[in-house]
Chains A and B, each alone.
Chain A
Amino acid sequence: MQAELKEDGLHMWRHCLLFGVAAWLAAATPASAFIAYVSNEKSNTVSVIDTNSWTVTKTIKVGQRPRGIEFTRDGKFVFVAVGDDDSIQVIDVAKQEVVDSLPSGPDPELFALDADGKILYVANENDNTVTIIDVEKRARLGEIQVGVEPEGMAISPDGKILINTSETTNMAHFIDTTTREIVANVLVDARPRYAEFKRDNSEVWVSSEIGGTVSVIDPAKREVTKKISFEIPGLRSEAIQPVGIGMTKDGKTAFVALGPANRVAVVDAVSHKVTKYLLVGQRVWHMAFTPDEKYLLTTNGVSNDVSVIDVAAQKVIKTIQVGELPWGMTIAQP
């Protein structure tokens, strides 16, 4: 009896201990344990960052000049455009290695996945086209002729319109995803690099790297309704080169990477006013939110690191060293 009691007591004690450890673990582990994949343009690698420990847990070898990078909708694979190998490679997230590739057309840089994750639209810088790929069949469905040096790609929230920006033509091309034809061309400032829709389809933002502005386009009227410009005291205007854009799901706050200005601008996405500049690493390119939008991570090309921004506090809280010339980033649940 005594022994039994003893055993029970021990059992209970164990339970408590386990429970306690579990509770402690839960408290110490932020809800945001995600993984970020970062393409390193010069190293020909992809760095995997654990957003719990903020460390690089794995470096994956990929093809030459990796830039555009995106999780598949199911989170099982990561697509990475390897421009100098003229293909898009497929990384298996479980195996953390390249397992396949897609026929992308020459020099793919950025791409967009449709809502179902079945069709991939790829900007081919070298031959003024957008290539359409059936992801499952690994087959090319067609091409769309666009302006000179296509780059930025975005799909409207309703999936009906694909935006492609062309860097030397200086336009945002509106492409009907059903007919696969251009339905409008909106002239923006020099070297448009990135496009981002608001979730409610009320606006699409296009960054112009050399022009130094972000054009806010009304997707219904298909015209520029506002141009956001940036001024940083003590910095010459030529150094302010907007590239990546991040927009919160509620459409209230936007972040714009300003390239060699080494800063991310925080923009009130309703009034279109710049409210703050956050100092990050050198030549900041692109960015991605953690799915809970607590953190925003930026790739800093020249300083070979990633800055972690606390979105609510609008502060840079961490810097993580990655490979050489980090360029693109995508984040998902592990």
Chain B
Amino acid sequence: MIRCLVAAIGLSIAATSVLAAAPIEIGVGYLGRAGIKAKLSLVELPAENDGFAGARLAIEDNNTTGKFLNQRFTLEEVRLKDDEDVAKTAAALAERTGFIIADLPADDLLKAANALRERGTLLLNAGAIDDRLREQDCRGNVIHVAPTRSMLADALAQYLVWKQWKRWLLVVGSHDQDKLYADALRRAATRFGAKIVQERTFEDTGGARRTDSGVTLIQRQIPVFTQQAPAYDVLVAADESEVFASYLPYRTWDPRPVAGSAGLVPTSWHAAQDQWGAIQIQNRFAKLNSRHMSALDMKAWTAARMVGEAASRTKSGDPKVVSDFIRGKDFSVAAFKGRRLTLRDWNLQLRQPILLVDGRMVVSVSPQEGFLHQVSELDTLGVDRPETKCKLN
């Protein structure tokens, strides 16, 4: 009897202590850029909290799950100004958080990665699409949630080839990142059997993106710029700098569709995506932010969810345990793309389907049917294991 009573008391104490235990705190940092990116279209101007809002939603989702597991997630947001030392800022943030979601240009991301190398902080790249970060410049402490330029280009190329639009007129902007995108498009054309019938460069001669008589001038310029092209099926534009691509649709000399940086655009996410349960996250996001969910929002959401997913699987908030699990072979995450997303173990790139959108609707999702692969059809997008230049650690 006494024994029973003692046992009962013991049990109730155990139960109370479980309930009373302070939750495990898991800090996630977000290192983003200050300032707004330039866009040709007024409706595509990113919101002031672009990306941050996605991370916040994921933290909320993680906490809904966390309350059942006694885990509590927090987000610390830092906006990097132009003259700020990224290495110092990243190191200061890493004092408080074991995981940092980064929306940084490639060089800044590398500086942050190098600064945090000894510390064991995990960086989740949600912004930079440069292939070199997954190839010759890859780092063991950086996971890439953002797709690469080559993944985006391959996703587009597969669709264009499926559509039998195999003759491309490639128009390239004059900035470095435009040229990198053009490289990826050329590689994609070769891989999937398209032919670039001619290349043209659209020089950025400066000038404002918004003027009072803008349309009149553009309507004279673009038809002239695109005339006398050899026979082609589709105009493919490489204009990450947002200088000219959005001016092309409906204005080309020949009546041809536009793809690439305008027209049919490959992207990791779009507000019109509603398949595979996506309507739920779109609704959740809109309710919280009174706006649509952008691709950067989704990449940040996915990054923070990866941390949450690994924390719930390992039942741990220890950055090393969680990071090792993310990098391990059993990790996968669900992100409303119709299949589980996993990491390429050779360069820590997240495998993912790519949406092809026209600005209002999701037109298709790549990889396209019929593009086969011995491991995962998602590896038909981007640089595959045999071609990689990445040596981790």
- A residues with a Cβ closer than 8 A to B are 107, 125-126, 128, 147-149, 166-171, 173, 182, 185, 187, 190-191, 210-212, 236, 238-239, 241, 260
**Cα–Cα distance between A115 and B94 once the two chains are bound (Å):** 54
| A-B contacts, 30 listed (Cβ < 8 Å) | A107-B280, A107-B283, A125-B280, A126-B280, A126-B284, A128-B64, A147-B64, A148-B64, A167-B334, A168-B61, A168-B65, A169-B61, A169-B64, A169-B68, A170-B309, A170-B312, A171-B68, A173-B68, A187-B312, A191-B334, A210-B332, A210-B339, A210-B340, A211-B340, A212-B340, A238-B339, A238-B340, A238-B377, A239-B339, A241-B339
Closest to A260 in B: B338
Q: Mark B310-338, 1 if CB is under 8 A from A, else 0.
A: 00110000000000000000001110001
Q: Which of A107, A126, A190, A239 contacts B332 (CB under 8 A)?
A: A190
**Cα–Cα distance between A128 and B57 once the two chains are bound (Å):** 14
**Cα–Cα distance between A148 and B333 once the two chains are bound (Å):** 14
Contacts of B69 on A, CB cut-off 8 Å? 185, 187
Contacts of B61 on A, CB cut-off 8 Å? 148, 168-169
Contact of B65 with A171 in the complex, beta carbons under 8 Å: yes
Contacts of B64 on A, CB cut-off 8 Å? 128, 147-148, 169
Contact of A238 with B376 in the complex, beta carbons under 8 Å: yes
Report A187 CB to chain B, min CB distance, Å. Answer: 6
Task: Name the prevailing secondary structure of the B interface residues.
Answer: helix
Contact of B340 with A148 in the complex, beta carbons under 8 Å: no
Report A57 CB to chain B, min CB distance, Å. Answer: 31
If A168-B334, A241-B339 are given as contacts, then 7 extra A-B residue pairs at C-beta distance below 8 Å, sorted by A number, are A125-B280, A128-B64, A148-B65, A167-B280, A190-B340, A236-B376, A238-B340
**Cα–Cα distance between A168 and B68 once the two chains are bound (Å):** 13
Contacts of B65 on A, CB cut-off 8 Å? 147-148, 166, 168-171
Q: Which 8 A-B pairs have the closest CB atoms?
A: A238-B339, A169-B65, A210-B334, A185-B68, A190-B334, A210-B340, A148-B61, A191-B334
Report B319 CB to chain A, min CB distance, Å. Answer: 21
Q: Mark B257-287, 1 if CB is under 8 A from A, else 0.
A: 0000000000000000000010010011000
Closest to B335 in A: A210
Contact of B280 with A187 in the complex, beta carbons under 8 Å: no
Give the number of residues in B that approach A within 8 Å (Cβ atoms): 22
Contacts of A211 on B, CB cut-off 8 Å? 332, 340
**Cα–Cα distance between A126 and B284 once the two chains are bound (Å):** 7
Contact of B280 with A149 in the complex, beta carbons under 8 Å: yes
Report B65 CB to chain A, min CB distance, Å. Answer: 4
Q: Mark B335-350, 1 if CB is under 8 A from A, else 0.
A: 0001110000000000
Contacts of A185 on B, CB cut-off 8 Å? 68-69
Contacts of A238 on B, CB cut-off 8 Å? 339-340, 376-378
**Cα–Cα distance between A169 and B69 once the two chains are bound (Å):** 11
Q: Mark B276-305, 1 if CB is under 8 A from A, else 0.
A: 010010011000000000000000000001
**Cα–Cα distance between A239 and B372 once the two chains are bound (Å):** 13
Contacts of A173 on B, CB cut-off 8 Å? 68
Closest to A83 in B: B279
Most buried by B among A125, A168, A210, A241: A168
Contact of B313 with A187 in the complex, beta carbons under 8 Å: yes
Q: Mark B6-45, 1 if CB is under 8 A from A, else 0.
A: 0000000000000000000000000000000000000000
Most buried by B among A148, A182, A260: A148
Contact of B283 with A126 in the complex, beta carbons under 8 Å: yes
**Cα–Cα distance between A260 and B339 once the two chains are bound (Å):** 10
Report A126 CB to chain B, min CB distance, Å. Answer: 6
Contacts of A125 on B, CB cut-off 8 Å? 280
Closest to A238 in B: B339
Contacts of B332 on A, CB cut-off 8 Å? 190, 210-211
Report A262 CB to chain B, min CB distance, Å. Answer: 13
**Cα–Cα distance between A210 and B69 once the two chains are bound (Å):** 21
